[in-house]
Amino acid sequence: MESSRASARLVATSFDDRYIWPWLCSLWSAVHGSQQPLRFLIANVNGLLSPEGKDVVAQCLKWLSVDGEVVDLEVNVPELNDHQWNATVYARLALLDSLDEPFMWLDADTLLLPGWDDIFTNGDRLFEDPAIIAGGVFDRGMTLARMKIDGKNQAFNRCGGRYFNAGILLLRPDRWKAAHLDSLWMDLVRREKELGFQYHDQDILNYLLTDRVSFLDVGFNHIISEPLSGSEKILHYAGFPKPWKLDEAGRAFFIALEVLNWDRPSHQISGGGSAWVTFPRYWDLETNVRAELAASGQESLVAALMKLRESQLSLFSKPEQFKFGMLRRIAKKFQSW
Protein backbone atom coordinates (compact mmCIF):
# COMPACT_ATOMS: atom_id res chain seq x y z
CA MET A 1 0.00 0.00 0.00
CA GLU A 2 2.76 2.43 0.96
CA SER A 3 4.77 1.66 -2.17
CA SER A 4 1.75 2.25 -4.44
CA ARG A 5 1.03 5.52 -2.65
CA ALA A 6 4.63 6.61 -3.07
CA SER A 7 4.40 5.98 -6.82
CA ALA A 8 1.11 7.86 -7.17
CA ARG A 9 1.26 11.15 -9.03
CA LEU A 10 0.49 14.19 -6.86
CA VAL A 11 -2.13 16.66 -8.15
CA ALA A 12 -2.55 19.92 -6.22
CA THR A 13 -5.09 22.71 -6.34
CA SER A 14 -6.59 25.45 -4.17
CA PHE A 15 -10.01 27.08 -3.96
CA ASP A 16 -12.57 28.55 -1.61
CA ASP A 17 -16.19 27.50 -0.96
CA ARG A 18 -17.36 29.03 -4.25
CA TYR A 19 -15.36 26.49 -6.25
CA ILE A 20 -16.21 23.29 -4.37
CA TRP A 21 -18.76 22.15 -6.96
CA PRO A 22 -16.55 22.73 -10.05
CA TRP A 23 -13.62 21.18 -8.17
CA LEU A 24 -15.69 18.04 -7.58
CA CYS A 25 -16.53 17.89 -11.29
CA SER A 26 -12.84 18.31 -12.14
CA LEU A 27 -11.87 15.64 -9.60
CA TRP A 28 -14.52 13.22 -10.91
CA SER A 29 -13.26 13.64 -14.47
CA ALA A 30 -9.63 13.24 -13.36
CA VAL A 31 -10.33 9.99 -11.54
CA HIS A 32 -12.49 8.53 -14.33
CA GLY A 33 -10.03 9.53 -17.06
CA SER A 34 -6.80 8.24 -15.50
CA GLN A 35 -5.19 4.80 -15.66
CA GLN A 36 -2.59 5.40 -12.96
CA PRO A 37 -2.62 6.00 -9.19
CA LEU A 38 -3.17 9.60 -8.12
CA ARG A 39 -3.03 11.59 -4.91
CA PHE A 40 -4.73 14.93 -4.43
CA LEU A 41 -3.74 17.88 -2.27
CA ILE A 42 -6.11 20.77 -1.67
CA ALA A 43 -4.37 23.84 -0.26
CA ASN A 44 -6.62 25.84 2.07
CA VAL A 45 -5.03 29.27 1.79
CA ASN A 46 -5.52 31.61 4.75
CA GLY A 47 -8.69 29.79 5.81
CA LEU A 48 -10.60 30.81 2.66
CA LEU A 49 -12.04 27.31 2.54
CA SER A 50 -14.43 27.36 5.49
CA PRO A 51 -14.61 24.57 8.11
CA GLU A 52 -17.91 23.52 6.56
CA GLY A 53 -16.28 23.59 3.11
CA LYS A 54 -13.38 21.45 4.32
CA ASP A 55 -15.85 18.91 5.63
CA VAL A 56 -17.66 18.75 2.28
CA VAL A 57 -14.33 18.32 0.47
CA ALA A 58 -13.37 15.48 2.82
CA GLN A 59 -16.72 13.79 2.19
CA CYS A 60 -16.23 14.11 -1.58
CA LEU A 61 -12.80 12.48 -1.39
CA LYS A 62 -14.25 9.65 0.67
CA TRP A 63 -17.22 9.20 -1.68
CA LEU A 64 -14.90 8.80 -4.67
CA SER A 65 -12.45 6.63 -2.67
CA VAL A 66 -9.71 9.12 -3.54
CA ASP A 67 -6.41 9.43 -1.71
CA GLY A 68 -6.43 13.11 -0.85
CA GLU A 69 -6.14 15.67 1.90
CA VAL A 70 -6.79 19.31 2.72
CA VAL A 71 -3.68 21.14 3.92
CA ASP A 72 -3.92 24.50 5.66
CA LEU A 73 -1.51 27.00 4.11
CA GLU A 74 -0.72 30.52 5.25
CA VAL A 75 0.38 32.93 2.52
CA ASN A 76 1.49 36.34 3.72
CA VAL A 77 0.27 38.46 0.82
CA PRO A 78 -1.74 41.70 0.70
CA GLU A 79 -5.50 41.17 0.56
CA LEU A 80 -6.56 40.37 -2.98
CA ASN A 81 -10.09 40.63 -4.29
CA ASP A 82 -9.65 41.10 -8.03
CA HIS A 83 -12.57 39.75 -10.08
CA GLN A 84 -12.78 36.03 -9.21
CA TRP A 85 -9.26 35.98 -7.71
CA ASN A 86 -8.19 35.95 -4.08
CA ALA A 87 -5.14 34.72 -2.15
CA THR A 88 -5.69 31.15 -3.36
CA VAL A 89 -3.96 32.13 -6.62
CA TYR A 90 -0.65 32.20 -4.76
CA ALA A 91 -1.04 28.61 -3.52
CA ARG A 92 1.08 27.08 -6.29
CA LEU A 93 3.96 29.40 -5.37
CA ALA A 94 3.66 28.59 -1.67
CA LEU A 95 3.52 24.86 -2.49
CA LEU A 96 6.71 25.19 -4.53
CA ASP A 97 8.28 26.56 -1.34
CA SER A 98 6.86 23.93 1.02
CA LEU A 99 6.72 20.65 -0.94
CA ASP A 100 9.65 18.43 -1.83
CA GLU A 101 8.13 16.09 -4.42
CA PRO A 102 7.09 16.94 -7.98
CA PHE A 103 3.44 17.84 -8.45
CA MET A 104 0.92 18.79 -11.06
CA TRP A 105 -1.01 22.00 -10.51
CA LEU A 106 -4.61 21.82 -11.70
CA ASP A 107 -7.07 24.72 -11.63
CA ALA A 108 -10.58 23.82 -10.48
CA ASP A 109 -12.25 25.13 -13.65
CA THR A 110 -11.11 22.16 -15.72
CA LEU A 111 -12.53 19.02 -17.27
CA LEU A 112 -10.12 16.14 -17.83
CA LEU A 113 -10.69 13.76 -20.72
CA PRO A 114 -9.68 10.07 -20.89
CA GLY A 115 -5.94 9.79 -21.38
CA TRP A 116 -5.19 13.15 -19.76
CA ASP A 117 -2.64 11.44 -17.49
CA ASP A 118 -0.29 11.15 -20.48
CA ILE A 119 0.82 14.56 -19.22
CA PHE A 120 3.00 12.83 -16.62
CA THR A 121 4.91 10.76 -19.19
CA ASN A 122 5.42 13.90 -21.27
CA GLY A 123 6.57 15.76 -18.18
CA ASP A 124 9.09 13.07 -17.28
CA ARG A 125 10.74 13.64 -20.64
CA LEU A 126 10.80 17.42 -20.16
CA PHE A 127 12.44 17.09 -16.76
CA GLU A 128 15.30 15.01 -18.14
CA ASP A 129 16.84 18.44 -18.71
CA PRO A 130 18.06 19.37 -15.19
CA ALA A 131 17.56 23.08 -15.89
CA ILE A 132 13.79 22.72 -16.29
CA ILE A 133 11.64 23.61 -13.29
CA ALA A 134 8.19 23.71 -14.91
CA GLY A 135 6.24 22.26 -17.80
CA GLY A 136 3.32 24.25 -19.16
CA VAL A 137 1.31 25.28 -22.21
CA PHE A 138 1.44 28.58 -24.08
CA ASP A 139 -1.38 30.94 -23.10
CA ARG A 140 -4.15 31.57 -25.63
CA GLY A 141 -3.29 33.54 -28.73
CA MET A 142 -5.55 36.48 -27.90
CA THR A 143 -3.85 37.00 -24.54
CA LEU A 144 -0.36 36.84 -26.05
CA ALA A 145 -1.29 39.26 -28.84
CA ARG A 146 -2.80 41.74 -26.38
CA MET A 147 0.29 41.63 -24.14
CA LYS A 148 2.58 42.15 -27.11
CA ILE A 149 0.66 45.22 -28.28
CA ASP A 150 0.36 46.67 -24.77
CA GLY A 151 4.04 46.12 -24.00
CA LYS A 152 3.73 46.90 -20.28
CA ASN A 153 3.76 43.43 -18.74
CA GLN A 154 7.36 42.81 -17.72
CA ALA A 155 6.76 39.08 -17.31
CA PHE A 156 5.76 38.80 -20.97
CA ASN A 157 8.64 41.04 -22.04
CA ARG A 158 11.20 39.20 -19.93
CA CYS A 159 10.28 35.77 -21.31
CA GLY A 160 10.35 37.02 -24.90
CA GLY A 161 6.75 36.05 -25.53
CA ARG A 162 7.29 32.43 -24.36
CA TYR A 163 4.46 33.01 -21.90
CA PHE A 164 2.55 30.09 -20.40
CA ASN A 165 -0.85 29.75 -18.77
CA ALA A 166 -0.55 28.67 -15.13
CA GLY A 167 -3.84 26.76 -14.91
CA ILE A 168 -2.16 23.42 -15.58
CA LEU A 169 1.52 23.03 -14.71
CA LEU A 170 4.04 20.33 -13.89
CA LEU A 171 6.41 21.58 -11.20
CA ARG A 172 9.66 20.55 -9.53
CA PRO A 173 9.90 22.15 -6.06
CA ASP A 174 13.40 20.72 -5.48
CA ARG A 175 14.77 22.61 -8.47
CA TRP A 176 12.76 25.73 -7.56
CA LYS A 177 14.42 25.89 -4.17
CA ALA A 178 17.86 24.96 -5.53
CA ALA A 179 17.58 28.01 -7.81
CA HIS A 180 16.64 30.13 -4.74
CA LEU A 181 13.43 31.27 -6.38
CA ASP A 182 11.55 30.67 -3.13
CA SER A 183 13.21 33.80 -1.76
CA LEU A 184 12.24 36.01 -4.72
CA TRP A 185 8.55 35.67 -5.47
CA MET A 186 7.16 37.51 -2.43
CA ASP A 187 9.05 40.64 -3.48
CA LEU A 188 7.42 40.40 -6.92
CA VAL A 189 3.95 40.29 -5.27
CA ARG A 190 4.70 43.68 -3.74
CA ARG A 191 5.93 45.00 -7.10
CA GLU A 192 3.07 43.73 -9.29
CA LYS A 193 1.80 47.17 -10.32
CA GLU A 194 5.30 48.50 -10.95
CA LEU A 195 6.02 45.52 -13.24
CA GLY A 196 2.72 45.81 -15.09
CA PHE A 197 1.52 42.39 -13.94
CA GLN A 198 -2.08 41.49 -14.76
CA TYR A 199 -2.36 37.83 -13.75
CA HIS A 200 -0.71 37.78 -10.32
CA ASP A 201 0.91 34.36 -9.74
CA GLN A 202 0.95 33.53 -13.46
CA ASP A 203 2.99 36.63 -14.21
CA ILE A 204 5.32 35.90 -11.29
CA LEU A 205 5.96 32.37 -12.53
CA ASN A 206 6.60 33.55 -16.08
CA TYR A 207 8.93 36.27 -14.81
CA LEU A 208 10.97 33.86 -12.67
CA LEU A 209 10.98 30.80 -14.91
CA THR A 210 12.30 32.37 -18.10
CA ASP A 211 14.55 29.70 -19.67
CA ARG A 212 13.52 27.28 -16.91
CA VAL A 213 10.22 26.18 -18.47
CA SER A 214 9.57 23.64 -21.21
CA PHE A 215 6.34 23.50 -23.18
CA LEU A 216 3.75 20.73 -23.36
CA ASP A 217 1.34 20.07 -26.21
CA VAL A 218 -1.51 22.60 -26.22
CA GLY A 219 -4.01 19.76 -25.71
CA PHE A 220 -2.96 19.46 -22.08
CA ASN A 221 -4.37 22.92 -21.34
CA HIS A 222 -6.96 23.70 -23.99
CA ILE A 223 -8.48 27.06 -23.09
CA ILE A 224 -12.04 26.87 -24.37
CA SER A 225 -11.92 30.23 -26.16
CA GLU A 226 -9.46 28.64 -28.61
CA PRO A 227 -10.63 26.52 -31.59
CA LEU A 228 -10.76 22.76 -31.06
CA SER A 229 -8.02 20.74 -32.74
CA GLY A 230 -8.92 17.19 -31.74
CA SER A 231 -5.85 16.79 -29.49
CA GLU A 232 -7.58 18.02 -26.33
CA LYS A 233 -6.78 16.16 -23.12
CA ILE A 234 -7.72 18.84 -20.57
CA LEU A 235 -10.38 21.49 -21.16
CA HIS A 236 -9.76 24.70 -19.23
CA TYR A 237 -12.81 26.93 -18.72
CA ALA A 238 -10.74 30.04 -18.10
CA GLY A 239 -12.39 33.41 -18.46
CA PHE A 240 -16.11 34.20 -18.54
CA PRO A 241 -18.67 32.77 -18.17
CA LYS A 242 -18.16 29.66 -16.09
CA PRO A 243 -20.38 26.78 -17.26
CA TRP A 244 -21.56 25.83 -13.76
CA LYS A 245 -22.77 29.38 -13.13
CA LEU A 246 -25.41 29.41 -15.88
CA ASP A 247 -29.00 28.49 -15.07
CA GLU A 248 -31.13 26.72 -17.68
CA ALA A 249 -32.21 29.94 -19.39
CA GLY A 250 -28.66 31.25 -19.27
CA ARG A 251 -27.34 28.11 -20.91
CA ALA A 252 -29.76 28.39 -23.81
CA PHE A 253 -29.02 32.10 -24.26
CA PHE A 254 -25.27 31.57 -24.14
CA ILE A 255 -25.24 28.72 -26.67
CA ALA A 256 -27.58 30.65 -29.01
CA LEU A 257 -25.25 33.66 -29.07
CA GLU A 258 -22.16 31.49 -29.53
CA VAL A 259 -23.66 29.69 -32.51
CA LEU A 260 -25.08 32.84 -34.10
CA ASN A 261 -21.65 34.47 -33.87
CA TRP A 262 -19.56 31.42 -34.77
CA ASP A 263 -17.82 33.39 -37.55
CA ARG A 264 -17.40 36.54 -35.42
CA PRO A 265 -15.35 35.53 -32.34
CA SER A 266 -15.23 39.09 -31.02
CA HIS A 267 -19.03 39.01 -30.70
CA GLN A 268 -19.07 35.72 -28.80
CA ILE A 269 -19.42 35.91 -25.01
CA SER A 270 -16.62 33.36 -24.65
CA GLY A 271 -14.29 35.27 -26.97
CA GLY A 272 -14.05 32.53 -29.57
CA GLY A 273 -13.44 28.80 -29.75
CA SER A 274 -16.20 26.19 -29.79
CA ALA A 275 -18.11 26.81 -26.59
CA TRP A 276 -21.28 25.31 -28.10
CA VAL A 277 -19.37 22.00 -27.91
CA THR A 278 -17.27 22.38 -24.77
CA PHE A 279 -19.97 23.85 -22.51
CA PRO A 280 -22.56 21.10 -23.20
CA ARG A 281 -19.78 18.59 -22.55
CA TYR A 282 -19.29 20.14 -19.11
CA TRP A 283 -23.03 20.08 -18.43
CA ASP A 284 -23.18 16.40 -19.43
CA LEU A 285 -20.45 15.66 -16.93
CA GLU A 286 -22.34 17.56 -14.24
CA THR A 287 -25.38 15.39 -14.99
CA ASN A 288 -23.28 12.25 -14.54
CA VAL A 289 -21.83 13.49 -11.26
CA ARG A 290 -25.27 14.38 -9.92
CA ALA A 291 -26.66 10.98 -10.95
CA GLU A 292 -23.88 9.13 -9.13
CA LEU A 293 -24.31 11.34 -6.08
CA ALA A 294 -28.06 10.68 -6.03
CA ALA A 295 -27.44 6.92 -6.28
CA SER A 296 -24.89 7.02 -3.45
CA GLY A 297 -27.56 7.61 -0.80
CA GLN A 298 -25.44 10.27 0.89
CA GLU A 299 -28.26 12.73 1.34
CA SER A 300 -26.40 15.23 3.55
CA LEU A 301 -23.51 15.48 1.07
CA VAL A 302 -25.89 15.87 -1.86
CA ALA A 303 -27.81 18.61 -0.03
CA ALA A 304 -24.61 20.50 0.85
CA LEU A 305 -23.26 20.29 -2.70
CA MET A 306 -26.52 21.36 -4.32
CA LYS A 307 -26.74 24.32 -1.97
CA LEU A 308 -23.22 25.37 -2.90
CA ARG A 309 -23.94 24.86 -6.60
CA GLU A 310 -27.18 26.84 -6.56
CA SER A 311 -25.56 29.71 -4.66
CA GLN A 312 -23.24 30.25 -7.65
CA LEU A 313 -25.89 30.35 -10.39
CA SER A 314 -26.00 33.59 -12.35
CA LEU A 315 -29.56 34.58 -13.16
CA PHE A 316 -30.51 36.65 -16.17
CA SER A 317 -30.85 40.41 -15.90
CA LYS A 318 -33.94 42.03 -17.44
CA PRO A 319 -32.10 43.10 -20.66
CA GLU A 320 -30.69 39.57 -21.05
CA GLN A 321 -34.16 38.08 -20.59
CA PHE A 322 -35.47 40.36 -23.33
CA LYS A 323 -32.64 39.38 -25.71
CA PHE A 324 -33.25 35.70 -25.07
CA GLY A 325 -36.97 36.13 -25.70
CA MET A 326 -36.23 37.78 -29.04
CA LEU A 327 -33.85 34.98 -30.01
CA ARG A 328 -36.47 32.35 -29.22
CA ARG A 329 -39.09 34.16 -31.33
CA ILE A 330 -36.64 34.41 -34.26
CA ALA A 331 -35.80 30.72 -33.92
CA LYS A 332 -39.51 29.79 -34.02
CA LYS A 333 -40.00 31.79 -37.23
CA PHE A 334 -37.14 29.91 -38.88
CA GLN A 335 -38.66 26.62 -37.77
CA SER A 336 -42.01 27.57 -39.30
CA TRP A 337 -40.33 28.11 -42.68
Specify the pLDDT at position 81.
62
Say yes or no: 193 and 269 in one domain: no
Give counts: helices (H), strands (E), the chain: 14, 10
* Residue 5 predicted with pLDDT over 90: no
- Name every residue whose Cβ is closer than 8 Å to that of residue 92 and which is 6 or more positions away in sequence: 12, 14, 105, 166, 169, 171, 201, 205
Query: Which regions of the chain does DSSP assign to beta strands (E)?
Result: 9-14, 38-45, 68-73, 103-106, 110-112, 134-138, 164-171, 213-215, 222-223, 234-236
Say yes or no: 254 and 288 in one domain: yes
State how many domains the chain has. 2
- Name every residue whose Cβ is closer than 8 Å to that of residue 155 and which is 6 or more positions away in sequence: 163, 195, 197, 202, 203, 204, 206, 207
Provide mean pLDDT across the span 164-168: 98
* Residue 328 predicted with pLDDT over 90: no
Say yes or no: 214 and 154 in one domain: yes
* Residue 326 predicted with pLDDT over 80: no
Say yes or no: 213 and 274 in one domain: no
165 versus 249: which is more confidently predicted? 165
Confidence of residue 336 (pLDDT cuts 50, 70, 90): very low
Look up the pTM and report it: 0.92
Provide mean pLDDT across the span 2-10: 75
Percent of the chain with pLDDT over 70: 91
Owning domain of residue 164: 2-223
What is the per-residue pLDDT across 238-248, written as a single tens digit (0 to 9) for each? 988 999 999 99
Q: Tell me whether residue 170 is in a domain.
A: yes
Say yes or no: 80 and 194 in one domain: yes
Say yes or no: 297 and 211 in one domain: no
Specify the pLDDT at position 271.
87
331 versus 245: which is more confidently predicted? 245
Provide mean pLDDT across the span 65-69: 98
What is the per-residue pLDDT across 81-92, written as a single tens digit (0 to 9) for each? 666 779 999 999
- CA-angle at 300, arms to 294 and 304, nearest 5°: 90
Distance CA 51, CA 56 (A): 9
| Domain CATH for 164 | 3.90.550.10
Confidence of residue 337 (pLDDT cuts 50, 70, 90): very low
Candidate ranges 39-48, 250-259, 266-275; pick with highest mean pLDDT = 39-48
